[in-house]
Amino acid sequence: MIFKKKTSYKADDLDSIIEACLTQNPQAQRALVKMFFGFVKGIAMRYAANEAEAEEIINDGFLKAFNNLAKFDHEKPFKGWLRTIVVNTAIDYYRKNQKYAHQADIDDIDLPDMSEDVISKISADEILSFIQKLPPSYRTVFTLYVVEGYNHREIADKLGIKEGTSKSNLQDARKKLQLMIKNAYPHLHLAYAVKINKFNEN
């Protein structure tokens, strides 16, 4: 019986961990997951409705990363490469499981655009919880556009939708987020609305 030699690596050296992962070293693979788990989870949670969905995206994302590790260009940042894989994994998850999920209709909502002053008073975890409550189509388009920086044409190509649908979903996502913020923080919304009204009167 022939045993494959396990390449040694340094726990704090990413390049050596990657090289060891290329030899299918399970300890190195666990070390890589441990090193980037928080980073990957942060991405996955923005596309998922809950922990279970995020876990599936995380697992699939790391699996794809390991399967394609030989293609990684060491001249480029590993985090950027891994981020692209996880985002694409989240998109694949959406297209496979959520594309035809129920999409709530949003009527015109008379809300002023929330300023940075209002948003800054809400924690990142709370904002994430609002995003996770969006319908899958809204959540995916909102995250791709606002967080990842894709334009509507790119989003349409990635999700297999029309460019106009991407724009509409983004607009509705923003309206729904504003409504959730208004309901959760009526005092913040009221203070901002009063501020806007006074400005318009001058």
pTM comes to 0.77
Q: What is the pLDDT of residue 88?
A: 96
How far lies 186's CA from each of 5, 131, 176, 190, in Å? 62, 18, 15, 6
Q: What is the pLDDT of residue 198?
A: 38
Enumerate residues 6+ apart whose C-beta is below 8 A from 160. Answer: 95, 99
List the structure tokens of 202. 């001058």
Enumerate residues 6+ apart whose C-beta is below 8 A from 164. Answer: none
Average pLDDT of the chain, as a whole number: 82
List the structure tokens of 87. 């985002």
Q: What is the pLDDT of residue 69?
A: 96
Residue 138, amino acid: Y
Q: Residue 197 — pLDDT band, cuts 50, 70, 90?
A: very low
| Fold matches, 14-98 and 116-201 | no
| 8-37 pLDDT, tens digit each | 788 889 999 999 999 999 999 999 999 999
Q: What is the pLDDT of residue 190?
A: 54
Q: What is the pLDDT of residue 117?
A: 52
| Class for the domain spanning 14-98 | mainly alpha
Cα–Cα distance for residue pair 42/38, rounded to 1 Å:
6
Sketch the domain layout of the chain as residue ranges: 14-98, 116-201
Given CATH 1.20.140.10, say whether it is the number of domain 116-201.
no
For residue 138, pLDDT over 80 is answered with yes
Q: What is the pLDDT of residue 93?
A: 94
170 near 150, Cβ under 8 Å?
Answer: no
| 160-182 pLDDT, tens digit each | 999 999 999 999 998 898 888 88
